[in-house]
Structure 1
């Protein structure tokens, strides 16, 4: 308890809950599409519809989550999100009719959209703005470890138990969300809620405010660029690029993605210390520099001869890309918080979550055709142009903040 009687929440308890839910996510991460197609017997069109509904539900729920967070605080909204996330995989585990599976996608997608819309305000409410970067960095490292471990567990369950292994995996996924919700409720007990006076001053029109705020629009463009040219391609575009350009087999691609995850686990803590020394803007520039250098390693993976050398070169890409991710994790959202107007944090952070989701949708839709239609060289050129554009956006953002501080 602090001097005002408000209980100080435990970061370790929160991160234990985060570990549980990301482990559950990892368990079903490689299984969902195969389960829908092979075990539930959904046609390919219905499998695609599952993921489309998941994305749409998250996009629709996102702005409402930001508005509700302003009115009721991010804590209750985050707990409610875990309830939606719990229901989705439990419906899949029930192995019901096609409509039940598609309903599951709506619950899971809405829960995910709601949770990530309020995550930054939640962390600030729990641990304070000064610790936001550290908590985001810790979540990034934990996610890299637990999602990878969960994927192995899910694969082993299916290998050993067949259909029952699939259903057990989705059951474990649902229980992990429930456990995280209970942990959140425990962590939130005694934590001061946001000011009701501020909550009443916010109208539904505030949902659109970030998109017409010229100063903040630069941040949204930067967020979109980081996802479109980076995060949104790791699991959707990059495996195809590695297979077709570097001629890697499935095991080689798995090794490369494992190097990416392991690098985040190892590098996040030392990179966080560097971020705290050089600041968020310089850290984002460093991240984009790492990503630009990673394109050299990616090019080498296709230029060298021999599968082992190609895997080593592609692993260099994974390492440099992970280094960039470690710079971004504790930097982007604190920059969002610093740029958002007072009293508008919830709707502004929700807008960045919305842009992140849109970027994840757009990345494979844009860059798979670029790679398959225009070739590897054109793909690398587009990537480099995207990173240079993001650097330019950072410079514009820094200039706008400096100008605002002078006024």
Structure 2
């Protein structure tokens, strides 16, 4: 692969990408800015401004997640059939509508409609963007420009920058009220729509002449891939414990104010370290070792907390959780995205990436529900919940070691 100087300057590397992969990577940054302008503040708006009960707020947030994750496979199949551009444009338009509805909704039906529209939007554009990124990455790798795993790493870094920037802008806009924040998010997605209308190439889907149902039929016939998707879903389940288990641990030690700092630390780790970690994973470890190491590190994050929780009332367990969990994600996430394309044989990428996302969503839905129930039934200083959660990525590490291919055999992607 061609090496450029100062490759650790990720934004400079993104700027040097060819036009289409650069647009796709920056799309993730813009998506997350618009998304995180609103979503971190939605629960407070529903409870404080609209006076909805906690159970109703949970219903709204749950339906938003379900409408997104549950429809990912359909969005991926549609991208394979009709092409990336129509799905991205449609998804952006639906999200604009969703944020406008949320901004002006004053009753539960309007809130539900807006929340579900934002979820459906992601189901349309996210698998399309990931499948397009995988194809562009294959072309760059074949041309000796850049390994595909590093393109996925840039995608992760761009998303993290957006995830940090969005809430900061949201805090500023909230001084003018939630309505202003919702409208601003709609404007961001309208701008994204305009950029993709202008610069994203049009073209038929990779499987435009094949029936839509054939995509999911092919994916679900690939049993080894389904095993991979199930094992890999533990990564998303583990990551979501930062939203469920971490606040509970900080509350136990009276350090609730540290939550924002810990999230900021995780973002800094990803922004500063994702590229070198991905290069290490690709060049030294290889896909099987990298995925196994990543999931073992995630398991260690929870195991360390299980050991420390009964012994200390400091923030040390929370810090260890964030650092180790983020490090495990950094090893695993770009490699898993690349391996998904390998399992797909570089065909029906939308369907394959959609199923991976849906598997993660199901793991979060059921796993976090069970974890939350367990944490409600034991003492906050009990190591039991942390031990059980640690077992999930540990088992996945073993499964991924058995399932993950050691070499890549890819079909040629049309130029």
Residue 304 (structure 1) shift: 5.2
Check if 1:243 corresponds to 2:251: yes
Residue 338 (structure 1) shift: 0.5
The one of 55, 62, 67 aligned to 2:65: 55
Q: How does 1:254-269 map to 2 (within 5 A)?
A: 254-269=260-275
Residue 337 (structure 1) shift: 0.8
Structure 1, unaligned stretches of length 5 or more?
A: 1-6
Alignment partners' CA distance in 2, 1:259 and 1:378: 27
Q: How does 1:123-142 map to 2 (within 5 A)?
A: 123-128=133-138, 130=141, 131-142=147-158
Q: How does 1:392-407 map to 2 (within 5 A)?
A: 392-398=398-404
Tell me what 2:187 maps to: 175
Residue 45 (structure 1) shift: 3.9
| 2:295–2:332 contact (8 Å) kept in structure 1 | no
What SS class does the counterpart of residue 71 from structure 2 fall into? helix
Could you tell which deviates more after superposition, 201-210 or 271-280? 201-210
Alignment partners' CA distance in 1, 2:83 and 2:138: 14
Residue 106 (structure 1) shift: 1.6
Alignment partners' CA distance in 1, 2:304 and 2:346: 43
| 2:76–2:351 contact (8 Å) kept in structure 1 | yes
Question: Using a 3 Å threshold, how does the CA distance of structure 1 residues 184 and 132 change in structure 2: closer, same or farther?
Answer: farther
Alignment partners' CA distance in 1, 2:73 and 2:301: 35
| 2:35–2:166 contact (8 Å) kept in structure 1 | yes
Residue 352 (structure 1) shift: 0.8
Tell me what 1:86 maps to: 96
Alignment partners' CA distance in 2, 1:80 and 1:204: 21
Tell me what 1:352 maps to: 356
Q: How does 1:7-406 map to 2 (within 5 A)?
A: 9-128=19-138, 130=141, 131-158=147-174, 161=175, 164-189=176-201, 193-195=204-206, 198-228=207-237, 230-244=238-252, 247-277=253-283, 278-299=285-306, 302-303=309-310, 305=312, 310-341=314-345, 343-374=347-378, 376-398=382-404
Residue 29 (structure 1) shift: 3.1
Question: Using a 3 Å threshold, how does the CA distance of structure 1 residues 342 and 92 change in structure 2: closer, same or farther?
Answer: closer
Question: Using a 3 Å threshold, how does the CA distance of structure 1 residues 398 and 35 change in structure 2: closer, same or farther?
Answer: closer
Alignment partners' CA distance in 2, 1:236 and 1:305: 20
Question: Using a 3 Å threshold, how does the CA distance of structure 1 residues 317 and 63 change in structure 2: closer, same or farther?
Answer: closer
Question: Using a 3 Å threshold, how does the CA distance of structure 1 residues 103 and 271 change in structure 2: closer, same or farther?
Answer: same
Aligned residue pairs, count? 384
Alignment partners' CA distance in 1, 2:348 and 2:219: 9
CA-based RMSD: 2.7
Alignment partners' CA distance in 2, 1:364 and 1:172: 31
| 2:303–2:387 contact (8 Å) kept in structure 1 | no
| 1:85–1:108 contact (8 Å) kept in structure 2 | yes
TM-score (norm 2): 0.83
Residue 238 (structure 1) shift: 2.4
What SS class does the counterpart of residue 281 from structure 1 fall into? helix
What SS class does the counterpart of residue 137 from structure 1 fall into? helix
